[in-house]
Amino acid sequence: MTDLQASLMAIGGTIVVGVISYNKWQEYKAKKTVQRAFASEHDDVLMNPGAATDGSPETRHEPTLASDNVVTTPSPAAESAIASSAAVDSVSALAEAPAEVPARPPQKELPVDELIDCAIALELGGPVRGEKILPKLQTLRHVGNKPVHFIGQREDGNWETVAHGVLYYGLFAGVQLANRSSALNEIEYSELITRLRQIADDIDAELDVPDMGAVMASARSLHQFVAEYDAQLSVNIQAKGAPWAINTLLAALERQGFDLRPDGRLVMPDGDGGVLFSLSTNVSLAAETTTRLTLLLDVPRVTPSHDGFGAMIACARMLAARLDGVVVDDGNQPLTDAALAEIAEQVAAFYTHMEESNIPAGSVRATRLFS
């Protein structure tokens, strides 16, 4: 081996050692950044979404609005979706139309809802017990991606989900008219009627079939409402310096109250069995670091009483302060208090219109429709 070859090998070895050392140092910095950020023992917004992070009331009621695709600044499309009354009118018209449901109002919330379901009567030849008809009813749970439910009328006139050990004097089937993906269509409706006829024959009942044209019109109107009000809120936290180590970050966020789902998505529970908002690391599960976090609130699925807006913004500010980051929009521009306050007003109008449509945000109707 010549002196030149020996020198080149020595230089190459030095470079390799340097690169490995630099990578280890970066990894150590990312881990320490997250560990320092979550070392504080003070009261935490993530553990108590109603608490302010800096003692100021300005940490609440500051969202960013998006319609369909997530954005973080006010847009004409978002304003149009919020201000639109056409969808509200169409859904209100459904509520005012003659309902093909029992004349006696139900005593509790039922899975067959006259506003968002097509209700179809099965007129029984005589009283039947729940355990006798349930095996037949359970063969029909969906048509396409639209759920199908059944309710039965008890001797006292009240209606309930069909169950064992109860004698029923009437039956209704209900198929959901729309969801986020589509409206009930002719093929799905035809399949429903065909399968219901078979069930009716099996349990000695007569089927009262609604007109397909009227059902399709109701389904399209309801889906128009869903499309108009399919809004989301998002904010991002961008690292100012070194990236954050994923493993340390996820463990710290779980300790702060987030639940880690199998798909890698983190969600903040709302305290009532639902989701307040979610958090994404914006990288694959195999990634070791990230420089950006995104908080997302599914507006129509969260009741205003949970104040998801204020809680999400307060959480974003806390994360930015602890992780040495900045709260930004999707264009990487810092979000100002003025911009957030403007969108907060739009969100209030959004909730008002949903309430007027008889589909309040966070209600069972809303969570079924926006699924």
Summarize pLDDT for 204-218 with one digit per residue, the tens: 999 999 999 999 999
**Amino acid identity at 51:** A
The rounded distance, in Å, linking the Cα atoms of 154 and 106 is 11
57-109 pLDDT, tens per residue?
Answer: 333 333 334 444 333 333 333 343 333 444 444 444 444 444 454 454 445 68
pLDDT of 22 higher than 60: no
The residue from 144, 174, 209 where one domain ends is 209
Residues 306 and 364 in one domain: yes
pLDDT for 74 equals: 36
> Which of 75-103 are b and which e, b meaning 16 or more Cβ less than 10 Å from the residue's Cβ?
eeebbebbeeeebbebbbebeeeeebbbe
Domain that holds residue 119: 101-209
pLDDT score of 52 more than 50:
no
Q: What is the rounded distance in angstroms from the CA atom of residue 212 to the CA atom of residue 217?
A: 9
Choose the final residue of a domain: 209, 242, 264.
209
pLDDT at 60: 34
Residues 112 and 198 in one domain: yes
- 106 and 79 in a common domain: no
pLDDT per residue as tens digits for the range 118-174: 999 999 999 999 999 999 999 999 999 999 999 999 999 999 999 999 999 999 999
Higher pLDDT among residues 366 and 95, named by residue: 366
How many domains are there within the chain?
A: 2
What does each C-alpha distance from 191 to 143, 146, 195 come to in angstroms?
7, 12, 6
Instruction: Please tell me whether residues 170 and 243 are part of one structural domain.
Output: no
- Asked if 268 and 276 touch (Cβ cutoff 8 Å), the reply is yes
Q: What mean pLDDT value characterizes the chain?
A: 81
In this structure, the answer to whether residues 76 and 114 fall within a common structural domain is no
Residue 3 domain-assigned (yes or no) = no
Indicate whether 220 belongs to any domain: no
Q: Identify whether residues 345 and 241 lie together within a single domain.
A: yes
pLDDT range class, residue 35, cuts 50, 70, 90: low
Q: Is 41 among the domain residues? A: no
Does 290 fall in a domain? yes
Report CA 129 to chain centroid distance, whole Å: 37
Same domain, 252 and 333: yes
277 and 365 assigned to the same domain: yes
The helix (run of H) or strand (run of E) holding residue 31 is helix 3-37
Domain membership flag for residue 52: no
pLDDT at residue 260, rounded to an integer:
87
Nearest to 357 by CA among 50, 82, 59: 82
Please provide residue 271's backbone torsions phi and psi, each rounded to the nearest 5 degrees. Answer: 90, -10
| DSSP-derived 3-state class of residue 340 | helix
